[in-house]
Amino acid sequence: MSDAPPTGEGGVPDTETTKAPARGFRGRFRAFVQHDKVKAAWARVRGGELTLGRAAASVAVGVLVGTTPLYGLHFFLVMGICLPLKLDAAIAYVASNVSLPIFAPFINITEIEVGAYLRTGSLIHLDRADFDARGPLDYARELALGTLVVSPVSAAVAAGLTYAVGWISRRRRGTSANVAKA
Protein backbone atom coordinates (compact mmCIF):
# COMPACT_ATOMS: atom_id res chain seq x y z
CA MET A 1 0.00 0.00 0.00
CA SER A 2 1.20 3.45 -0.69
CA ASP A 3 0.79 6.43 1.60
CA ALA A 4 0.14 8.75 -1.32
CA PRO A 5 -3.14 10.65 -1.24
CA PRO A 6 -5.94 9.37 -3.48
CA THR A 7 -5.63 10.73 -6.96
CA GLY A 8 -8.23 11.76 -9.45
CA GLU A 9 -7.81 12.05 -13.18
CA GLY A 10 -4.30 12.64 -14.43
CA GLY A 11 -2.63 11.91 -11.08
CA VAL A 12 -3.92 15.14 -9.46
CA PRO A 13 -4.75 14.70 -5.74
CA ASP A 14 -8.48 14.33 -5.13
CA THR A 15 -9.48 17.34 -2.99
CA GLU A 16 -12.78 15.81 -1.89
CA THR A 17 -11.17 12.94 -0.01
CA THR A 18 -8.14 14.77 1.41
CA LYS A 19 -8.42 17.69 3.75
CA ALA A 20 -5.62 20.01 4.69
CA PRO A 21 -5.11 20.47 8.41
CA ALA A 22 -6.91 23.47 9.82
CA ARG A 23 -4.68 26.51 9.79
CA GLY A 24 -5.07 29.67 11.76
CA PHE A 25 -7.60 30.44 14.44
CA ARG A 26 -10.55 30.47 12.06
CA GLY A 27 -9.72 27.05 10.63
CA ARG A 28 -9.14 25.48 14.04
CA PHE A 29 -12.37 27.02 15.36
CA ARG A 30 -14.32 25.71 12.35
CA ALA A 31 -12.85 22.23 12.89
CA PHE A 32 -13.76 22.40 16.59
CA VAL A 33 -17.35 23.44 15.87
CA GLN A 34 -17.75 20.66 13.31
CA HIS A 35 -16.71 17.99 15.84
CA ASP A 36 -19.53 15.53 16.59
CA LYS A 37 -19.33 15.91 20.38
CA VAL A 38 -19.52 19.70 20.13
CA LYS A 39 -22.52 19.42 17.80
CA ALA A 40 -24.23 17.03 20.22
CA ALA A 41 -23.57 19.32 23.20
CA TRP A 42 -24.90 22.36 21.31
CA ALA A 43 -28.01 20.41 20.26
CA ARG A 44 -28.60 19.47 23.90
CA VAL A 45 -28.21 23.09 25.02
CA ARG A 46 -30.65 24.20 22.33
CA GLY A 47 -33.13 21.51 23.41
CA GLY A 48 -34.60 20.62 20.02
CA GLU A 49 -37.07 22.26 17.70
CA LEU A 50 -38.04 25.76 18.81
CA THR A 51 -41.80 26.18 18.95
CA LEU A 52 -43.61 29.24 20.27
CA GLY A 53 -44.34 27.47 23.55
CA ARG A 54 -40.73 26.38 24.05
CA ALA A 55 -39.46 29.87 23.17
CA ALA A 56 -41.87 31.46 25.66
CA ALA A 57 -40.97 28.92 28.36
CA SER A 58 -37.24 29.47 27.75
CA VAL A 59 -37.64 33.24 28.07
CA ALA A 60 -39.73 32.75 31.21
CA VAL A 61 -37.00 30.64 32.82
CA GLY A 62 -34.37 33.20 31.85
CA VAL A 63 -36.29 36.16 33.25
CA LEU A 64 -37.24 34.20 36.38
CA VAL A 65 -33.58 33.43 37.05
CA GLY A 66 -32.36 36.86 35.91
CA THR A 67 -34.54 38.79 38.34
CA THR A 68 -33.23 36.90 41.36
CA PRO A 69 -30.40 38.50 43.34
CA LEU A 70 -28.22 35.41 42.85
CA TYR A 71 -25.60 37.13 40.71
CA GLY A 72 -22.90 34.81 39.46
CA LEU A 73 -25.19 31.79 39.54
CA HIS A 74 -27.49 32.69 36.65
CA PHE A 75 -25.64 30.50 34.11
CA PHE A 76 -25.71 27.45 36.37
CA LEU A 77 -29.34 27.98 37.34
CA VAL A 78 -30.39 28.36 33.69
CA MET A 79 -28.54 25.19 32.69
CA GLY A 80 -29.86 23.29 35.70
CA ILE A 81 -33.45 24.18 34.83
CA CYS A 82 -33.38 24.13 31.02
CA LEU A 83 -31.43 20.94 30.31
CA PRO A 84 -33.76 18.53 32.17
CA LEU A 85 -36.84 20.30 30.75
CA LYS A 86 -35.34 20.31 27.21
CA LEU A 87 -35.81 24.06 26.91
CA ASP A 88 -33.52 26.32 24.90
CA ALA A 89 -30.80 27.20 27.41
CA ALA A 90 -29.16 29.69 25.04
CA ILE A 91 -32.33 31.76 24.79
CA ALA A 92 -32.92 31.44 28.53
CA TYR A 93 -29.40 32.64 29.31
CA VAL A 94 -29.80 35.67 27.05
CA ALA A 95 -33.12 36.43 28.76
CA SER A 96 -31.49 36.07 32.19
CA ASN A 97 -29.40 39.12 31.37
CA VAL A 98 -32.30 41.41 32.30
CA SER A 99 -30.24 42.03 35.41
CA LEU A 100 -27.48 43.90 33.65
CA PRO A 101 -25.70 46.32 36.00
CA ILE A 102 -27.70 49.25 34.65
CA PHE A 103 -31.03 47.53 35.49
CA ALA A 104 -30.14 45.50 38.61
CA PRO A 105 -30.57 48.35 41.12
CA PHE A 106 -34.07 49.07 39.82
CA ILE A 107 -35.00 45.39 39.95
CA ASN A 108 -33.67 45.11 43.52
CA ILE A 109 -35.44 48.28 44.68
CA THR A 110 -38.69 47.01 43.18
CA GLU A 111 -38.27 43.68 44.96
CA ILE A 112 -37.48 45.40 48.28
CA GLU A 113 -40.50 47.70 47.97
CA VAL A 114 -42.84 44.81 47.07
CA GLY A 115 -41.47 42.75 49.95
CA ALA A 116 -41.91 45.66 52.37
CA TYR A 117 -45.45 46.24 51.16
CA LEU A 118 -46.31 42.57 51.66
CA ARG A 119 -44.74 42.53 55.15
CA THR A 120 -45.93 45.87 56.53
CA GLY A 121 -48.63 47.11 54.19
CA SER A 122 -46.70 50.24 53.28
CA LEU A 123 -43.76 51.22 51.12
CA ILE A 124 -40.43 52.11 52.71
CA HIS A 125 -38.14 55.08 52.37
CA LEU A 126 -34.79 54.21 50.91
CA ASP A 127 -32.55 56.57 52.83
CA ARG A 128 -29.67 56.27 55.27
CA ALA A 129 -31.76 56.95 58.39
CA ASP A 130 -34.28 54.25 57.48
CA PHE A 131 -31.48 51.82 56.69
CA ASP A 132 -29.85 52.44 60.06
CA ALA A 133 -33.19 52.07 61.87
CA ARG A 134 -34.19 48.88 60.08
CA GLY A 135 -30.84 47.20 59.55
CA PRO A 136 -29.63 45.10 56.65
CA LEU A 137 -31.44 41.95 57.78
CA ASP A 138 -34.84 43.62 57.30
CA TYR A 139 -33.86 44.65 53.79
CA ALA A 140 -32.64 41.11 53.05
CA ARG A 141 -35.98 39.67 54.20
CA GLU A 142 -37.90 42.15 52.08
CA LEU A 143 -35.67 41.46 49.09
CA ALA A 144 -36.25 37.71 49.46
CA LEU A 145 -40.01 38.12 49.83
CA GLY A 146 -40.22 40.59 46.96
CA THR A 147 -38.18 38.28 44.73
CA LEU A 148 -40.72 35.51 45.32
CA VAL A 149 -43.39 37.79 43.84
CA VAL A 150 -41.57 39.96 41.28
CA SER A 151 -39.63 37.15 39.56
CA PRO A 152 -42.61 34.92 38.64
CA VAL A 153 -44.73 37.91 37.60
CA SER A 154 -42.00 39.32 35.37
CA ALA A 155 -41.34 35.83 33.94
CA ALA A 156 -45.03 35.40 33.09
CA VAL A 157 -45.16 38.82 31.43
CA ALA A 158 -42.00 38.10 29.41
CA ALA A 159 -43.33 34.68 28.35
CA GLY A 160 -46.64 36.20 27.28
CA LEU A 161 -44.89 38.92 25.28
CA THR A 162 -42.59 36.37 23.64
CA TYR A 163 -45.50 34.17 22.66
CA ALA A 164 -47.56 37.11 21.38
CA VAL A 165 -44.72 38.60 19.32
CA GLY A 166 -43.87 35.16 17.89
CA TRP A 167 -47.49 34.47 17.06
CA ILE A 168 -47.97 37.85 15.37
CA SER A 169 -44.77 37.55 13.35
CA ARG A 170 -45.66 33.99 12.35
CA ARG A 171 -49.08 35.10 11.13
CA ARG A 172 -47.57 37.98 9.16
CA ARG A 173 -45.08 35.65 7.50
CA GLY A 174 -47.68 32.93 7.05
CA THR A 175 -45.36 30.20 8.37
CA SER A 176 -46.01 27.04 10.32
CA ALA A 177 -46.18 26.65 14.10
CA ASN A 178 -42.41 26.46 14.49
CA VAL A 179 -40.37 29.60 14.97
CA ALA A 180 -37.02 28.18 13.89
CA LYS A 181 -35.06 24.98 13.70
CA ALA A 182 -32.66 24.40 16.58
Q: Tens digit of pLDDT for each residue in 106-116?
A: 999 999 999 99
How many other CB atoms are there within 10 angstroms of residue 157's CB atom? Answer: 12
pLDDT number for residue 182: 41
Mean pLDDT, the chain, rounded, equals 82
All residue ranges of the chain with pLDDT < 70 are: 1-22, 33, 35-48, 175-182
Considering the entire predicted model, what is its pTM?
0.72
**What is the tens place of the pLDDT at every residue in 119-155?**
989 888 878 888 888 888 988 999 999 999 999 999 9
Q: What is Dmax (Cα atoms) for the chain?
A: 91
